[in-house]
Amino acid sequence: MTLRTSRAFLVVALAGAVSLSGRAAHAQARDAAATKLADDALMNEYLAMDFAGAVKKLEKALALCGADKCSPAVAARLHRDLGVVYIAGLNDAAKGQAEFAL
């Protein structure tokens, strides 16, 4: 590998790292907001047996995450929590199982 090729590779690698770190920071901000909504939905609405309110907040958190704006762990947690609300709160096993599958 020549010096010129090495420098080009380094520039591309650094540009990729900067791009990924920017996305990671953006995902962390969305993760925090989505997690806050989920915590609120479970600790307030769900425990107060306001299952429709819990569903609304969890769906808002999922909308905030979109298809790929939150980490996979946070998205999975939101689907899990929504599944629990559907099954245990609203007695809708089909919707709950669909959320678990997601």
Token output for 95: 């919707």
Q: Tell me which amino acid residue 77 is.
A: R
Q: Quick check: 73 and 100 in contact, CB under 8 A?
A: no
pLDDT score for 2: 58
Instruction: For 66-82, write each residue's pLDDT tens digit.
Output: 988 999 999 999 999 99
The pLDDT of residue 4 is above 60: no
pLDDT band at 52 (very low <50, low <70, confident <90, very high): very high
b vs e for 37-49, b when ≥16 Cβ sit within 10 Å of the residue's Cβ? bbebbbeebbeee
Q: How confident is the model at residue 37 (pLDDT cuts 50, 70, 90)?
A: very high
42: Cα separation from own chain's centroid = 16
